[in-house]
Amino acid sequence: MKRSQKLTIMVLILLLVAAINTFVVIIFVKNIEYDINLINFSGIIRASIQRSIKTELNNNPDNFLIESIDSIMKKYSEHPKASLLIKFGEVFHELELDWEKAKELIYDFRRSREPEVRDALFKISEILWSRTNNIVLEAQIISEKKVTEFKAIYIFMIISLIGIFIIILYIRKYVANELEILAMKDSLTQIYNRSCLDDFLMKELERLRRYKRPFCAIMFDIDNFKSINDTYGHDKGDILLKQISKIVRQNIRISDVFFRLGGDEFMVIFPESNSEQAFTAAEKIRSMVEKTDFFESEKITISIGLAQAKEEDTASSLYKRTDIALYFAKRLGKNRTEISD
């Protein structure tokens, strides 16, 4: 799987986890909000019923209060979540029935003021208090249970956030690596550019001095490239540069490193190679270019300069020696490889 595909999957996972966490938090907040309203609402019913009966017993009837209780209880009973949050059929329905009995007693007491009706009203008042109290307690229990459940969800959310943080770090590292690679690569040929050549040469020279590991460098360019550009245009010239780069990549080792120096000039570093081995590799590249059919049946050749690194070399001196060897390859007729002293 390509790194870009892994990155896409990680981004999708990150978005999915973030969406799940957001959804869970929203649902939890809404449920807690409803539970709070439920508790408050149950308390209002309890207080309102007791107040209503008390006013009747004190000969101070209040029809508005009775209507308010009816309205609140109806609104509550019709709420779609009410039956899910409490034992609605067992508790609230019984409360509704007892409230209807209480209203009948209230209206009877208003007409008769008989002691038996007063006693019955006292009795129903106690029953209603118990019913409403059970509703309040049930709502509190459910709310506390949800808070307990959320603690487990909270652990999942923490783990998810840690996962999101790790994914973000990976994405940052991936993007940084990609930007670094882009800075090192030539945009046309997708091989290393001139900016990272000196660092690479210095590392190889250090290996040569410390471990006596030989390496060679070749520099080549396309023979008569200017006339090709003038004849066919720069677009064709760019296509040619990409085709030759592809040929070179296919004919060097994985350990060899390929650079575009600029224009039609290129360099290849051959680690663990002496001049004889590098010459064989260079001639293979030159021959493959010569044998390849490019556009308009144009014969394309390259000239190559080769130098084996010495312990006293610097990146600049090695570069200069390969450049001089390339110069002699041009002077001696092109389409050839020349070795520096």
| 52 touches 65 (CB < 8 A) | yes
Q: Order of strands across the sheet with 257-262?
A: 192-193, 257-262, 265-271, 215-222, 302-308, 337-339
| Vertex 260: Cα angle to 259 and 263 (nearest 5) | 165
- Taking the alpha carbons of 228, 230, 236, 242 in that order, is the dihedral positive or negative? positive
Name the token pair of 74.
């109806």
* C-alpha R_g of the chain: 44
Length of the chain: 341
| 53 touches 125 (CB < 8 A) | yes
Beta bridge partners of 258: 268
Q: Is 323 a catalytic residue?
A: no
How many other β-carbons are positioned within 10 Å of the β-carbon of residue 308? 24
Which one of the listed residues 264, 293, 313, 341 is annotated catalytic? 264
How many other β-carbons are positioned within 10 Å of the β-carbon of residue 276? 10
Task: Decide: helix, strand or coil at residue 306.
Answer: strand
| 47 touches 65 (CB < 8 A) | no
**Residue type for position 106:** I
Positions marked active-site? 264
